[in-house]
Amino acid sequence: MGWGGYFGGPQSQNAARDAGLPHAGVPGDLRTHVEEVLRKEPEYPPVEVDFSHRQPSDPPLTLRSFLWPYRVQLGVALLLVVVESAMMQSGPLLAKEGIDRGVSSGNLRILLVVAAVFLGTVAAHALSSSLRIRYTGKLGERLMYALRLRVFSHYQRLSLNFFTQEKAGVLMTRMTSDIEALTVLFQEGLVNFAVQGLALLVITAVLFYLDPLLAVLTLVMVVPGTFVLSIWFRKVSDRYYGLVRDRIAEVLADLQESLAGIRVITAHNRRRHNVVHHTNVVGRHKDANLAGVRAASIYAPTTEAIVIIGQAILLFIGGTMVINGSLTAGELTAFVLYLTFFFAPIQQMVQLYNGYQQGQASAKKLREVLSTEPSVSEAPDAVDLPPIEGEITLEGVSFGYDDDTPVLHDVSLRLAPGESLAVVGPTGAGKSTVAKLIVRFYDPQQGTVRIDGHDLRTVTLASLRRQLGVVPQEPFLFYGSIRDNVAFARPDASVAEVLEACRAVGLTELLERLPDDVNSQIHERGASLSAGERQLLALARAFLARPRVLVLDEATSNLDLRSESKIEAALDVVLEGRTAIVIAHRLATAMRADRIAVVEDGRITEIGTHDELVALGGHYADMYATWMAHAN
């Protein structure tokens, strides 16, 4: 077996080819259909996004604060609701006039006029309802658009520790399920609630107009019981709907983790176990929902029973009044119709209260996310970092990812402009933490990190990151073309510049193999490329960004020897003239640096050139001797 086969194994692109899949491309017939769809897509105007790393001073997310900026539009929607409700509630009064002045007196002309007016109100109601639905639908989408951007922008603003503590599925739930619940609440809940509430007020006024005694009896028999039940249901459902939001977040988190780790799950034959685990997670979500359903199963039928009993009693009393002559048949008909209309809004509002509670629970979850402040924040008086030479200084830096477990202890270090420093040491010693502090993914608890004498906490994050480049151990490639991925930090780069970056790091062979050169599509996370090709693309991305300071976090630790030699040759090109921090797992990479720092237990115990450290006879010398023994 050759060295390449032993160390590297078959490349994923070869596996895709053997399986009959195109190399990150789209089949010809499918591509034709895709292009046809794209031609029919409407042209969208360019979007200007005002993004800042500073925490916005927006009020906490509540329904009131969320809707207040759109109060004028909501006023227009309410006006349409008033028209719609007025047209809807005019029917029983017209029926009364038709019976008392048309049917009872045998006046066909009045009956025809009332019928014509009735048809006119139906048409006006249909028109106003259609306009209201279209208007509130557009307004609702605008509200959700603004909320999605607000949440997504806040995600971009938050620091890395937030994403290490929260599950990706939970964060997805906030952007999807929770916002959808608010969408339903606004488009189908709040507006409908306003319609039913206004209808209830109008009907109550008309009932008192028709007969004050029957109106008082209606309110006494229906309102107190419904009110008490609503108070009980609010307390119970508030608890259960909050639990439901937590459970659906767990479902999506488990799903996302299973999809992301499907290769490991398959390799270790854990599919059955995962099905059992997901069954339990989904079961907890089901139980939370059923608890809310049980509460609703008591609330809804009981309120309906109160309504029906009230109708029966009022029909008996009203019928007696007609027999006695104190009430006309038309008035009783109108009263009975309005009774139906009176109880319908109550029943509708009972059902809408479920949606309201779900929306409130979602708003609470979103409010918790939006109130989270980034641990690495931009100072209000932060200034732009001027073009740097690349001098890096750490002065007495101590840091821990949590207060109880320090990772670095009183680390001091200086890199001259253009110098490369390799950081080596055992796993967990704090090597990668040094790199994360230099690019300000985290702030030290004690000490200062400076670039060209500037404390990183005093400069804007955008100006800092523009002059830094990071190549992680596992390079992340986005779904799209090679050009999109290489030009990620410089979207305005020309094709010629992208080609130059790719050729500089040794990607010529890959580009020649692809059907569309740098415009070839790659699969999500670069699944159609080998590990070495993904790493070379990450280096090309860093090369094109032209950073003054470059951080490489164990960029060659997962590669075979052939790929490692390619990466090291590319590193010589990328690192030329730049200050570099190289977190090294392999000594072959560390030896190429100007100096080497040995980190043990969160402290720099040795620092110097390769020859100096070997002569010192310390920990690095032992590492080098072990490495040479294995190499021999």
pLDDT, tens digit (0-9, with 9 covering 90-100), for 489-543? 888 888 888 888 888 888 888 888 887 788 888 776 676 787 778 888 888 888 8
pLDDT band for position 415 (cuts 50, 70, 90): very high
Rounded CA separation 365/131 (Å): 33
Place of tokens 């006039």: 97
Let me know: does 250 contact 370? Beta carbons within 8 Å: no
The reported pLDDT for the residue numbered 14 is 41
The reported pLDDT for the residue numbered 621 is 92
The reported pLDDT for the residue numbered 281 is 85
Count of beta carbons in the 10 Å neighbourhood of residue 121: 18
Closest CA to 568 of 590, 548, 549: 590
Contacts of 626 (CB under 8 A, 6+ apart): none
Task: Name the token pair of 384.
Answer: 């732009």
Q: How far is CA 141 from CA 58, 78, 505, 515, in A?
A: 21, 17, 46, 41
The reported pLDDT for the residue numbered 457 is 93
Q: Which residues of 141-177 are buried (b: 16+ CB within 10 A; e: fewer)?
A: eebbeebeebbeebbebbbeebeeebbebbbbbbbeb
Closest CA to 196 of 204, 42, 124: 204
Rounded CA separation 240/289 (Å): 7
What structural domains does the chain harbor?
A: 63-370 (1.20.1560.10), 401-631 (3.40.50.300)
Lowest mean per-residue pLDDT among 75-84, 279-288, 406-415, 438-447: 75-84
Count of beta carbons in the 10 Å neighbourhood of residue 54: 14
Lowest mean per-residue pLDDT among 183-192, 245-254, 307-316, 602-611: 183-192
Adjacent-strand bridge partners of 468 = 549
Rounded CA separation 24/12 (Å): 11
Eight-state DSSP code of residue 185 = I
Rounded CA separation 155/178 (Å): 15
Percent of the chain residues topping a pLDDT of 90: 13
Q: Does the pLDDT value for residue 18 go beyond 60? A: no
Closest CA to 363 of 192, 178, 238, 188: 178
Rounded CA separation 296/355 (Å): 12
pLDDT band for position 421 (cuts 50, 70, 90): very high
Lowest mean per-residue pLDDT among 171-180, 476-485, 526-535: 526-535
Closest CA to 394 of 349, 341, 453, 345: 453
- Total number of residues shown for the chain: 632
Closest CA to 214 of 322, 81, 368: 322
Rounded CA separation 204/338 (Å): 9
Let me know: does 520 contact 509? Beta carbons within 8 Å: no
State how beta strands 579-583 and 420-424 pair.
parallel
Closest CA to 590 of 632, 621, 618: 621
Count of beta carbons in the 10 Å neighbourhood of residue 473: 16
Rounded CA separation 446/412 (Å): 11
pLDDT, tens digit (0-9, with 9 covering 90-100), for 550-566? 888 876 555 556 666 66
Let me know: does 306 contact 221? Beta carbons within 8 Å: yes
Adjacent-strand bridge partners of 414 = 393
pLDDT, tens digit (0-9, with 9 covering 90-100), for 215-273? 887 778 777 777 787 778 777 776 777 777 778 878 877 887 777 777 677 766 777 87
Rounded CA separation 99/332 (Å): 10
Q: How far is CA 557 from CA 543, 564, 570, 606, in A?
A: 20, 8, 15, 22
Lowest mean per-residue pLDDT among 10-14, 96-100, 203-207, 233-237: 10-14
Give, rounded to a whole angstrom, the gap between the first and last alpha carbons of the chain.
Answer: 19
Phi, psi of 46 (to 5 degrees): -65, 145
Q: Give the ranges where 9-107 is alpha helix by DSSP (H).
A: 12-18, 28-40, 63-67, 71-89, 91-97
How many alpha carbons fall within 13 Å on the CB side of residue 59?
8
Lowest mean per-residue pLDDT among 180-189, 474-483, 572-581: 180-189
Let me know: does 460 contact 384? Beta carbons within 8 Å: yes
Let me know: does 182 contact 359? Beta carbons within 8 Å: yes
Contacts of 459 (CB under 8 A, 6+ apart): 382, 383, 384, 385
The DSSP-derived string for 517-551 is GGG-EE-GGGTTS-HHHHHHHHHHHHHHH--SEEE
The reported pLDDT for the residue numbered 201 is 81
More confident: 143 or 394: 394
pLDDT, tens digit (0-9, with 9 covering 90-100), for 33-80? 666 766 666 666 666 666 777 777 777 777 778 778 888 887 887 788
Rounded CA separation 549/107 (Å): 94
Percent of the chain residues topping a pLDDT of 70: 84
Count of beta carbons in the 10 Å neighbourhood of residue 511: 16
How many alpha carbons fall within 13 Å on the CB side of residue 614?
11
Rounded CA separation 356/256 (Å): 28
> Cα dihedral sign for 543, 547, 548, 554?
negative
The mean pLDDT of the chain is 79
Phi, psi of 569 (to 5 degrees): -65, -40
